Amino acid sequence: MKKTYRGSCHCGAVRFECQLDLAQGTSKCNCSICSKGRFWKAIVKADAFRLEQGADCLAEYRFGRENIHHLFCRRCGIKSFARGHMDELGDFYAINVACLDDVADEELAQAPVVYQDGRHDAWERPPAQTRQL
């Protein structure tokens, strides 16, 4: 069931709200940036995301094909979400589920996790190793 969650960066300058069904799955990827940041995400369409405050605090990092906007707080450094566009999905947000403020540990622990081999551009299959993600 979709619920409205509120999330924020570490210092609280960046705050957002999103509609999300954690039971529909989350994902972890072994690509260069997800593995270094240990990014645990849930994808939502653009209309299910609302930035409540902190637009002026967001810095952006892009690399490679530069199609994903990695947005982090310039004060505390936390990336609470990224945004991008995929043909199948349209505009989307990748929520850092670790930045959700009103979710119980038990709820996060029960959320299914799909592992993706982004390092080899194969997001549809899991990598050989997943425990380190």
- Site for Zn ion, rule CB under 5 A: 9, 11, 13, 73, 75-76
Of 5 and 16, CB closest to Zn ion: 16
- Around 66, how many Cα atoms within 13 Å sit in the side-chain half-sphere? 1
**What six digits make up the tokens of 115?**
């592992």
What is the smallest separation between the CB atom of 57 and Zn ion, expressed in angstroms?
A: 6
Give residue number: closest CB to Zn ion.
73
**Closest approach of Zn ion to the CB of residue 69, in Å:** 17
- Which C-beta is closer to Zn ion: that of 9 or that of 29? 9
Distance, in Å, from the CA atom of 98 to the CA atom of 95, rounded to the nearest integer, reads 9
Report the amino acid identity of residue 95. Answer: I
